Structure 1
Amino acid sequence: MVNPRFEVDPEDLSLLQTLTGLSSREELEEHIIAVQNKANRIHNYPCIGLFVFTKFNIKLSPNYHQVLSLINTHKDAIFLDVGCCVGNALRKVVTDGWPVENTIGIDLSKEFWDLGHEMFRSTPDSFPAGFVGGDIFDDVILAPSIGRSDDSNFIPNLEMVNLRNLKSLAPLRHRVSAIYVCNVFHLFHAEKQLDLARRLASLLTRQSGSVIFGSHGVAPAQLAVTNVGPNSFHSAESFVSMWATLFEANSVEISWKVKVRPRRKLSVLGEWDIIWWSVTCK
């Protein structure tokens, strides 16, 4: 029986079938529902209930093909997925050509990462991406930089590291070419979003084309920052302004576009739109 909430476009369906080895839509859906039930027991995020973990929405990023081109222009380019959950975005970029050994994810719970192997019927050997389990706000995982001067004076160790051996992101400071952050920023209040942005900026190599990009919920255009419980929805303008404070003038290009959602109340979060954004080194 088809679950009406399990909606997947033909391209994503084809990739799911390829990665799982389940060509039958019915068998695939049964498998996905079983994974969803286990994911909800780890943490019942709304995106789990909406089957976002089955989608490869990274391909919708306006700069996605530009990001993929970094594997040709950056030596040993590293791709980091922040809040990677089951690793669906990483599997998409690997399918599209990024060397799996140069990809790494971070999430609060290793259980999600392990569930990803179950979902995609892989193993750490057949999909040898790196993974760090922990809180990115934990200074042991990633200490924040002091500020712009701290970043400009830092000289990274350019010797390639084995991402599978990492227990923290600290060795990757100023070494990551692409950082993807989907449905993460709006989970925190504005002050913590700034802290997160600062930590991520410290990981980015300053080589031309290096990029932090992603998508999440934003307040409608007429509103400023809107707090809903532990969540905070910037307007697109205030979110972009936040990033501008973290880099030297004219050192990055900040791009964004907003997808306006139908004006209806969505559970406790109220009205919100979706922003696709990127911060790219010039």
Structure 2
Amino acid sequence: MAESTPPPPDLDPSIYSLDEHESAFFKSQTGIPDDEELKKHILKVQEKAYKVYPYPCIRRFAFASLKISRLPAYERFLQLGKERNCAIFLDIGCCFGNDARKAIDDGYPLRNVIASDLRPEFWELGHELFRSTPEPFPVPFIPGDVFDPAFLQPAPVVYSPPSTPVPDLSSLTSLTPLIGHISAIHASAFFHLFNEQKQFELAQKTASLLSPEPGSMIFGSHVGLPHKGLRTRRGRPAGAPLFTHSPESWRELWDGHVFDEGKVRVKAELKQVERPDLPPGDVHYLLVWSVTRL
């Protein structure tokens, strides 16, 4: 019998942990009822994904934490999907697509969901993780770099209904045709990957996609601090600090810079969270936020 290849030294299976809701979700999605078998399955996919790109969120099993359903805006988001005709939902920086799958499982119409990430290998590994194929789970996936104008053309925020028709989601090869048409955008563990200027540019680009209808929203979470500035982050190369917004600077970014002042309601708060992969006493904050058109 051939010996199994040990996982990369950065990976630590001991920090694997699913709470009651996460365990129930993954068991129902994968069809694996046994806890130990489910753990082995998730560890196998984690190892493959870490070789694609060693994101810290993959190393610490953040993909299993069901981020979207823990956000304060989640229930409003689900209601938007039920009440608005053709309420397109984009999960950007989706990785395995677990948040899109959770939203669909909770009732968001599958026909209105799309996902995007820089690396298509993660979406493919998402099918392996959830033991699915594109036939029973036909959510369109659009790979690409959001900063590439060929993928998402720079455009101003839309304040009146766009003149372009709503595109067929299954035919898309870029995000540009969706400018002004998206009802909800989820972006978690995404903005903090970039410096201050790139975060501003990313905010502008996602805002251009948003429908002008009241209630359209962008929401998510990422690393935050009580005061905006630079901090070092575990898993980043030495000397590469992480630019981090505070709730106050995040609100100012969206209300008055990205959108005209008074045109959106911005909610942002810091939550101190436990990180089993960090040393005791290392305080970690998440900035939890939503931007809703008025």
Q: 2:168 pairs with 162, 169, 172, which one?
A: 162
Aligned to 2:200, what secondary structure does the other structure show? helix
Listed as ranges, the gaps of 5+ residues in structure 2 are: 1-11, 233-239
Q: 1:27: which partner in 2? A: 37
Aligned ranges 1:5-20 → 2 under 5 Å: 5-20=15-30
Aligned ranges 1:115-154 → 2 under 5 Å: 115-145=125-155, 147-148=156-157, 151-152=158-159
Contact 2:60-2:277 at 8 Å conserved across structures: no
Aligned ranges 1:60-209 → 2 under 5 Å: 60-145=70-155, 147-148=156-157, 151-152=158-159, 155-159=162-166, 161-209=167-215
Q: Deviations over 1:114-172 (max 9, x none)?
A: 00001101111111111111110000110122x45xx347724244x332221100111
Q: Deviations over 1:74-93 (max 9, x none)?
A: 21111101110000000000
Give yes or no for the alignment of 1:233 onto 2:244: yes
Contact 2:15-2:276 at 8 Å conserved across structures: no
Q: CA separation in 1, counterparts of 2:44 and 2:259?
A: 44
Q: CA separation in 2, counterparts of 1:121 and 1:265?
A: 28
Aligned-pair identity (%): 39
Give yes or no for the alignment of 1:259 onto 2:271: yes
Contact 1:80-1:179 at 8 Å conserved across structures: yes
CA shift, 1:72, in A, is 2.6
How many positions carry a matched residue from both structures? Answer: 273
Q: CA separation in 2, counterparts of 1:89 and 1:263?
A: 20
Aligned to 1:260, what secondary structure does the other structure show? strand
Contact 2:159-2:212 at 8 Å conserved across structures: no
Distance 1:264 1:123, change over 3 A: closer
Q: CA separation in 1, counterparts of 2:275 and 2:13?
A: 25
Distance 1:188 1:158, change over 3 A: same
Which amino acid in structure 1 is aligned with residue 116 of structure 2?
Answer: I
Which amino acid in structure 1 is aligned with residue 98 of structure 2?
Answer: N
Q: 1:274: which partner in 2? A: 286
Listed as ranges, the gaps of 5+ residues in structure 1 are: none
Task: Give the RMSD, CA atoms, in angstroms.
Answer: 2.2
Contact 1:190-1:225 at 8 Å conserved across structures: no
Which amino acid in structure 2 is aligned with residue 142 of structure 1?
Answer: L
Distance 1:262 1:88, change over 3 A: closer
Contact 1:189-1:227 at 8 Å conserved across structures: no
Aligned to 2:292, what secondary structure does the other structure show? strand
Contact 2:160-2:212 at 8 Å conserved across structures: no
